[in-house]
Amino acid sequence: MSIQNNYVAIMAGGIGSRFWPESRQNLPKQFLDILGTGRTFIQDTYARFKDICPKENIYVVTHHSYEHLVKEQLPELPEANIIKEPFRKNTAPAAAYVTYKIEALNPKANIILAPADHLILDQRNFEIKAFQGLDYASRNDAILTFGIQPTRPDTGYGYIQYAKDQLEEGIAKVIVFTEKPNLDLARVFLSSGDFVWNSGIFVWNVATFTKAFKEYQPEMAEVFEQGRNSYNTPKEYATMERLYTQTTNLSIDYGLMEKAKNVFVIPSNFGWSDLGTWESAYEHSEKDYLGNASNQKSVFVVDAANCMIKSSINKLVVLQGLQDYIVVDTNDVLLICERSQEQQIKEYVAEIKRNLGEKYL
């Protein structure tokens, strides 16, 4: 396998409404430094892949309105490597677009498709698994995903059952994908030992993907086939504006991974979190001796414990008497929410949109 055939596509087009009010439509979470590390999620993700493939083989798939943010935060990324989606249509069209575009450049390409907003703590182990997946995809008719060894019966992740007795090269055939289970079922999955969390990071060879996409999503595959003469030309964006109206709002998990027969998983343990919620950010943030997570010196805590606190560095926040709360203060929105109720934030955003329009979104 030549490293020149390795490509990475970073998906960075989402809105990140679970991180509202910090994450907004004009500045979503992938462009924010939620954990206070000095780097945004997309900058961390880009850095993670620089030793896995040539820098010129890293692409970012994003909504066209975020092109300026990608340029600003990843100045070394060639402009031609920013793939602008004209509309948000979920991950299946995004995956197909980048795969067909890269195939037009290199018919032998192997691609890692990764979200821009995941946390990976063990970079060395991740690189080992990434090269393993790319090598396997280059030699086999296989679509791969990284499965994370579960450490708790988490109901916030999808699960993958795999054929544990058929593990070869550290890779096993997928038996079934299961959407977020209830707690009892999650406990069963954990105790069985043959389930892993679905990381949402995928690997495939372009020929393997297009063949499977034609079989399981023939109408959408035909749409992207129509773009073949426009990929990597000045006509590309105008062509995709027209073609995207014919695509379906569909996730790659449901559209392909759960249907294809040649899906394999690499059971992994590289310190992964999808960082999808304030609760996950709290888990991975530094805390004081009372369990409060805030990386700002302008936060003054009195008799408060186990809170996630985020505010403007220019504003003094005094927090007294709260326990297990999320407190997020921005210029125009103050959110105070019990940590146990944070799954409601997405619903609050929808309700605000219905009643107040998009002013605060």
Q: Output the six-digit token pair for 37.
A: 């590390």
Give Cα 324 to chain centroid, integer Å. Answer: 27
Encode 136-156: b = buried (16+ Cβ within 10 Å), e = exposed: bbbeeebbbbbbbebeebbee
pLDDT along the chain (361 residues), means of 10: 89 90 93 90 95 94 96 96 94 96 96 95 95 95 93 84 82 88 84 86 97 96 94 95 94 92 93 88 91 86 94 88 95 94 89 93 93
| β partners of residue 160 | 177, 196
Write phi, then psi, for 110 (nearest 5 degrees).
-115, 130
CA atoms within 13 A of residue 104's CA, in its CB half-sphere: 16
Burial category of 323 from C-beta neighbours within 10 Å (exposed 0-12, middle 13-18, buried 19 and up): middle
Peptide bond into 181 cis (omega under 30): no
**Distance (Å) of CA 211 to CA 73, 88, 204, 229, 359:** 35, 24, 11, 19, 44
- In CATH, the number for domain 3-273 is 3.90.550.10
| β partners of residue 82 | 60
The per-residue pLDDT for 123 is 95
The per-residue pLDDT for 274 is 85
Q: Is the dihedral of CA 206, 56, 270, 129 positive or negative?
A: positive
Q: Are strands 195-205 and 143-148 parallel, antiparallel or unpaired?
A: antiparallel
The per-residue pLDDT for 68 is 96
What's the rounded Cα separation, in Å, for the pair 43 and 65?
A: 18
- The letter for the amino acid at 137 is A
The per-residue pLDDT for 1 is 63
What's the rounded Cα separation, in Å, for the pair 295 and 110?
A: 39
Instruction: For tokens 């509309």, name the residue.
Output: 87
Q: Could you count the other beta carbons within 10 Å of the beta carbon of residue 228?
A: 12
Residue partners of 184: CB distance under 8 A and separation at least 6: none
Does residue 137 contact residue 146 with C-beta atoms inside 8 Å?
Answer: no
- The letter for the amino acid at 313 is I
The per-residue pLDDT for 354 is 94
Sequence ranges of the chain with CATH classification 3.90.550.10: 3-273
The per-residue pLDDT for 166 is 76
Does residue 73 contact residue 30 with C-beta atoms inside 8 Å?
Answer: no
What's the rounded Cα separation, in Å, for the pair 74 and 59?
A: 11
